[in-house]
Each structure stands twice: as C-alpha cells, then as structure tokens.
A and B are shown apart, each in its own frame.
Chain A
C-alpha cells in the first residue's frame, strides 16, 4: 500500500514478526519441496523478499499468511526452473511418530512425508496449509489466490489419496523421479501459478 517510509518502530515490529514466523516458513517449505537444504534456501529467499517488500505489509494482518504467499510464489518459480524435484529427505526417515493413545500402528513420519510428496503440488500445498499449518479454508484460499471451494476440494482429494496410500501402504517410491509424473506435475503447476496468490498483490 502506502509508499511512505515506515518509522523505526514499525520496522522493528516488522522484523520481530518476521523473525517469529521463520520456523513456520521452514515447516511449510519443507513440506512443499521435501528437502531440508532446499527448503531453507527457499526460506532465506523469502525473508529477503519479505524484507524488501515490507512496505506492502499491512500491520495487524497475519505475517504468517503474508510470508507464505511470498514463499509459495518463490517455490513455484523455482519449480518451473526445475530446481526442486520434490526429493525425499532421508533425515526424516529415521523419525517415527509415537502412536497416540488408542492407535495401534505408529505412522512413520517418513511414510507420511513421502506420501505427501507424491501429491500434485496444488493439493499438497492445500493440505499443508489447512491440515498442517492450521489455516482456515478462507485463509488458505487467499494465500493460493483461488476460491474457497477449490481449496476444499483440493484438501478433500489430497486426504482421500493419502487415506488410501497410508491404509494399504502403497506409497509410490518416488513418483517425482518418474518423467511422466514429473511432467504432469509441472503442467499442474502452471495452473496453480495462474492463481498467483491474491494476497500478494495489494
């Protein structure tokens, strides 16, 4: 919005909020691109962009939502340049989720992560935002620049896919390495990118 310079205290507030949101950016990025090192590169890129664009941030609104839009757009751009291939991060593989009470079989974080990475990107991000990040459908729709109904249906499909994958343990090894799958994903990415986060252009 306004092009007037921010005061020193507004800048300090911005910086504090930006700092607080870094762990969330890392978590979102890790879910999107699957590899810790690449995810962190993406977060660094996001922080620099957010800092440079700070005058467009409206104080009082959600810093997490605002920075997620920036991260998402950076990710989509990088994806189209073929930097990320949704590679699976081996370090997560060793971690096992402790089964909550009443649940017989522990789900491995690694299975979970791998299953997540096999989803088409727009469903993956929708599920990450709503199911992991705790955003409402409305907030997620705003971040992705699409209709609320679209987000709902993406989340629904993502859940259905994960349900069946995790239920019968048929998680594809690495669908991303498969050329056909990869091409399909890139095509879908173009659609996703066409929605370019509404919240980012203000």
Chain B
C-alpha cells in the first residue's frame, strides 16, 4: 500500500482552508476530487461576476 503523497503545492486561494489532518489512507482518486474542485477555483472569473459584484455597492 503506497499511501499517496500529499498533493503538490496546490493550495487553494481561500485563506480558511483546513487542510492538515487526514493521513488516513486515501484512495487514489482522492487527489482527483480535490483537483476537480481546484480546477474550478483556478478558472478566471467570468465577467458576469465582476459586473455583479461591482453593482452590489450601488444598490443600497
């Protein structure tokens, strides 16, 4: 049983990520699950969100 190495470097941008613990044996796809999530986190933000965020202030 090779326990998978901790995923390389790729920590999310969020500051409150709790990523210590879990050295319990993880299936090989566990890393993929995180990559799936991180791949979206790393996507450039579509303009619709920038527009929406910039409008928030003005409407109150």
Contacts and interface: CB of A to CB of B under 8 A. Distances in A.
Interface stretch (A16-24, A80-88, A175-183, A190-198): A16-24
B40 A163 contact: no
A102 interface: yes
Q: From DSSP, what is the main secondary structure of chain A's interface residues?
A: helix
Interface stretch (A70-78, A134-142, A143-151): A134-142
A139 B36 contact: no
Contacts of B15: 20
Given A64-B14, A139-B18, A162-B27, A23 B45 contact: yes
B14 A26 contact: no
B13 A23 contact: yes
Given A62-B16, A134-B17, A43 B49 contact: yes
Contact of A112 (B14, B36, B41): B36
Contact of B33 (A19, A101, A103, A132): A132
Contacts of A2: none
A33 interface: no
Contact of A102 (B5, B7, B32, B57): B5
Nearest to A21: B14
Nearest to A12: B57
A166 interface: yes
Contacts of B38: 27
A30 B42 CA distance: 13
B52 A47 contact: yes
B39 to A, nearest CB: 7
Nearest to B27: A163
Contacts of A65: 16
A154 to B, nearest CB: 14
Interface of A: 11, 15, 18-24, 26-28, 30-31, 40, 43-44, 47-48, 51, 62-65, 92, 95, 97, 100-103, 107, 109, 112-113, 116, 127-128, 131-136, 139, 159, 162-163, 166
Interface of B: 2, 4-5, 7-8, 12-19, 21, 27-43, 45-46, 48-49, 52-53, 56-57
29 contacts: A15-B57, A21-B14, A23-B41, A23-B42, A24-B41, A26-B40, A26-B43, A28-B37, A30-B40, A31-B36, A31-B40, A40-B48, A40-B49, A43-B49, A44-B48, A48-B52, A64-B16, A97-B32, A100-B4, A103-B4, A112-B29, A112-B32, A116-B33, A131-B30, A132-B36, A134-B19, A139-B18, A162-B29, A163-B29
